[in-house]
């Protein structure tokens, strides 16, 4: 059995999950912190 | 400060109790949670003919034979001194090799041969490049 | 706990968290890139499992952070219950989601590894079952903490759940020692590693890399929640 499709699938799933998690956390943080800034002004 | 200390003791005691209870519950589970029988278990306790179980152990060196029909594979699963003959029809997993771990799902026939419907390969906790194999690899049992 | 109490003030916490977030994130991503490249191209295959051993470099860190995340929830819960640490509830909620994601990644990558090596996607052995249980605990905890926060709770109920769930961590760790499992025994213990050095070394890179990224995600989520809190407090004052 060729293992490479399995290896690439595993790395792909992890990379996709990381990108989603980082992206969503970053956006939520920026939005909330910017809203605080806007209120202060 | 007093209340804080009280809470600290309480929380520590609760934590110890919870972890202790978990460990107790799990150890009460004991053999029930074992994923497979070893040949030694089979020799000691006996397993009724026809009951579906998993049998795990090491594939004995030099025991793998292919029967005349070309699809049935015969081999011996060993665990220390105990050994069980196994018969399997089908495609073996890549990692199915002599002197490495195997878990067979199936049932015993009246003559004491284990008829496997499915074979799973079991890897052990040692990882090494191919050129180091040989001298270093000497697992004799799947007992944890 | 003087260091923790210095962080009790959200303003002081933010003054540290703001510069720390990008540092953790980029250092982590850099280590991950190097570790993944090394693990995919430089290391030799395993003598028995062959190339599929490379999944180890993402599977083991996922398992470590899946369990580490719950340890984080437990520590935060503990300091919430004992010292009423003001950031504890937020820290626990910030850790829970990435912890659950890593627990899921551990199960998924393990399953992908299991197919070519064991010959099965899933088996109900002690290790796999206890790890799946941890993932469900995360989901239950996240739901409970959200409900508690929405009702204006002080986080004590999820904290008690967080502490109770800790009982599962030693069960996962020792499942492969206590019971016969399909999953192999522990390779890395306090007494050393049974993984040959030529295969092991990228694991340290990805383990550190994932941990730093995990830290960055937690900081980002805490900052978002703190800002949200401020926003809501401001709204209330303006409405009053």
Task: Kindly report, residue by residue over A25-35, the tens digit of the pLDDT.
Answer: 999 999 999 99
Q: Which domain holds residue B24?
A: 2-31
Least confident of C75-79, C113-117, C161-165, C192-196: C192-196
Same domain for B126 and B113, yes or no, is: yes
Nearest beta carbon to residue C58 from set A14, A21, A25: A14
Exposure b/e, C166-190, CB count within 10 A at least 16 = b: bbbbebbebbbebbbbbbbbbbeee
Interface test with C, best of A2, A6, A41 (most C CBs within 10 A): A6
**Tokens representing residue C3 in the block:** 């260091």
Same domain for B12 and B48, yes or no, is: no
On whether the CB atoms of residues B61 and B43 are closer than 8 A, the answer is: no
Task: Kindly report, residue by residue over B25-49, the tens digit of the pLDDT.
Answer: 877 776 667 788 888 888 888 888 8
Same domain for B108 and B59, yes or no, is: yes
Same domain for B12 and B25, yes or no, is: yes
Segment (H or E) for B103: strand B101-108
Averaged over C85-92, what is the pLDDT?
91
What ipTM is given for this predicted complex? 0.94
Rounded to a whole number of angstroms, the distance from the CA of C54 to the nearest CA of chain A is 7
Of B39, B60, B27, the C-alpha closest to B114 is B39
Whole-angstrom distance, CA of residue B8 vs CA of residue B10:
5
Same domain for B116 and B73, yes or no, is: yes
Q: Which domain holds residue C98?
A: 56-185+200-239
pLDDT of residue B31: 67
Alpha helices in C118-181 (DSSP H): 126-150, 156-165, 168-178
**Tokens representing residue C203 in the block:** 């694991």
pLDDT surpassing 80 at residue C4: no
Longest Cα pair distance anywhere in chain A, in angstroms? 63
Interface test with C, best of A1, A10, A39 (most C CBs within 10 A): A10
pLDDT surpassing 70 at residue B137: no
Q: Could you tell me if residue C10 is inside a domain?
A: no
Task: Kindly report, residue by residue over C49-71, the tens digit of the pLDDT.
Answer: 889 999 999 999 999 999 999 99
Confidence of residue C1 (pLDDT cuts 50, 70, 90): very low
Task: Kindly report, residue by residue over A8-27, the tens digit of the pLDDT.
Answer: 999 999 999 999 999 999 99
| CA nearest to B27 within chain C | C178
Q: Is B137 annotated as a binding residue?
A: no
Q: Could you tell me if residue C31 is inside a domain?
A: no
pLDDT of residue B134: 56
Of B126, B64, B132, B130, the C-alpha closest to B96 is B64
Q: Please name the residues between 59 and 78 in chain C that touch chain B, using a CB distance below 8 Å.
A: 78
Interface test with A, best of C48, C50, C100, C105 (most A CBs within 10 A): C105
Q: DSSP assignment of A1-41, as one string?
A: ---HHHHHHHHHHHHHHHHHHHHHHHHHHHHHHHHHHHHH-
Q: Could you tell me if residue B139 is inside a domain?
A: no
Of C192, C13, C190, C159, the C-alpha closest to C89 is C159
Q: Write the CA distances from A32 to B129, C150, C228, C240, integer angstroms.
A: 50, 18, 6, 22
To which residue do tokens 């009951």 refer? B51
Neighbours of chain A (3+ CB pairs under 8 A): C
Chain A residues closer than 8 Å to C55 by CB: 6-7, 10-11
Q: Write the DSSP symbol of residue C9.
A: S
| CA nearest to A35 within chain C | C231
On whether the CB atoms of residues C181 and B29 are closer than 8 A, the answer is: no
Q: Could you tell me if residue B142 is inside a domain?
A: no
Q: Is B37 annotated as a binding residue?
A: no
Q: Could you tell me if residue C190 is inside a domain?
A: no
Task: Count structural domains, chain C.
Answer: 1
Backbone φ, ψ for residue C49 (5° rounding): -85, -15
Parallel/antiparallel/unpaired status of strands C192-193 and C188-189: antiparallel
C211 interfacial to chain A (CB closer than 8 Å): no
Same domain for B84 and B107, yes or no, is: yes
- Kindly give, in sequence order, each residue whose CB lies less than 8 Å from that of residue C51, ignoring residues fewer than 6 positions away: A3, A4, A7, C45
Task: Kindly report, residue by residue over B49-79, the tens digit of the pLDDT.
Answer: 888 899 988 898 888 888 888 788 999 998 8
pLDDT of residue C188: 82
Whole-angstrom distance, CA of residue C163 vs CA of residue B15:
7
Chain A residues closer than 8 Å to C54 by CB: 7
Task: Kindly report, residue by residue over C162-207, the tens digit of the pLDDT.
Answer: 999 999 998 898 888 888 888 988 888 877 788 888 889 999 999 9
pLDDT of residue C59: 96
Whole-angstrom distance, CA of residue C91 vs CA of residue C70:
12
- CATH of residue B54: 2.40.50.140
Chain B residues closer than 8 Å to C194 by CB: 125-127
| CA nearest to C231 within chain A | A36
Same domain for B23 and B67, yes or no, is: no
Q: Could you tell me if residue B38 is inside a domain?
A: yes
Mean pLDDT of chain C: 91
A41 interfacial to chain C (CB closer than 8 Å): no
Whole-angstrom distance, CA of residue B107 vs CA of residue B37:
11
């Amino acid at each position: 059995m060729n293992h490479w499709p399995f290896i690439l699938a595993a790395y792909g799933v992890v990379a996709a999950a990381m990108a989603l998690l980082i992206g969503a956390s970053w956006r939520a943080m920026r939005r909330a912190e910017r809203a605080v800034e806007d209120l202060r002004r | 400060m007093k209340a804080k200390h009280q809470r600290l003791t309480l929380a520590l005691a609760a934590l110890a109790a919870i972890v202790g209870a978990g460990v107790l519950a799990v150890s009460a589970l004991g053999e029930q949670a074992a994923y497979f029988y070893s040949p030694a278990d089979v020799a000691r306790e006996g397993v009724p003919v026809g009951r579906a179980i998993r049998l795990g152990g090491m594939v004995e060196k030099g025991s793998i034979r292919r029967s005349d029909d070309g699809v049935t594979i015969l081999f011996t699963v060993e665990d220390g001194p105990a050994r069980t003959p196994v018969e399997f029809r089908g495609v073996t997993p890549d990692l199915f090799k002599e002197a490495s771990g195997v878990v067979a799902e199936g049932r015993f026939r009246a003559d004491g041969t284990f008829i496997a419907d499915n074979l799973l390969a079991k890897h052990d906790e040692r990882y090494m490049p191919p050129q180091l194999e040989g001298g270093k690899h000497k697992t004799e049992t799947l007992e944890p | 706990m003087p260091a923790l109490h210095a962080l009790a003030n959200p303003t002081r916490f933010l003054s540290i968290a703001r510069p720390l977030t990008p540092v953790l994130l980029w250092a982590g991503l850099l280590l991950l890139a190097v570790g993944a490249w090394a693990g995919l191209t430089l290391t030799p295959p395993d003598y028995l499992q062959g190339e599929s051993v490379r999944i180890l470099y993402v599977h083991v860190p996922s398992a470590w952070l899946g369990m580490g995340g719950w340890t984080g929830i437990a520590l935060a819960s503990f300091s919430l219950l004992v010292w009423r640490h003001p950031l504890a509830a937020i820290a626990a909620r910030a850790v829970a989601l990435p912890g659950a994601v890593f627990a899921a990644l551990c199960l998924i990558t393990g399953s992908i590894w299991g197919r070519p090596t064991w010959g099965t996607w899933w088996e109900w052995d002690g290790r796999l079952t206890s790890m799946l249980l941890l993932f469900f605990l995360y989901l239950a905890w996240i739901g409970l903490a959200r409900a508690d926060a929405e009702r204006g709770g002080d986080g004590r109920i999820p904290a008690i759940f967080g502490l109770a769930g800790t009982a599962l961590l030693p069960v996962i760790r020792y499942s492969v020692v206590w019971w016969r499992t399909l999953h192999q025994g522990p390779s890395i213990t306090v007494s050393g590693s049974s993984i040959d050095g030529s295969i092991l070394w990228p694991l340290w890179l990805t383990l550190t890399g994932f941990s730093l990224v995990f830290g960055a995600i937690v900081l980002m989520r805490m900052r978002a929640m703190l800002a949200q809190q401020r926003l809501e407090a401001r709204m209330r004052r303006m409405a009053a």
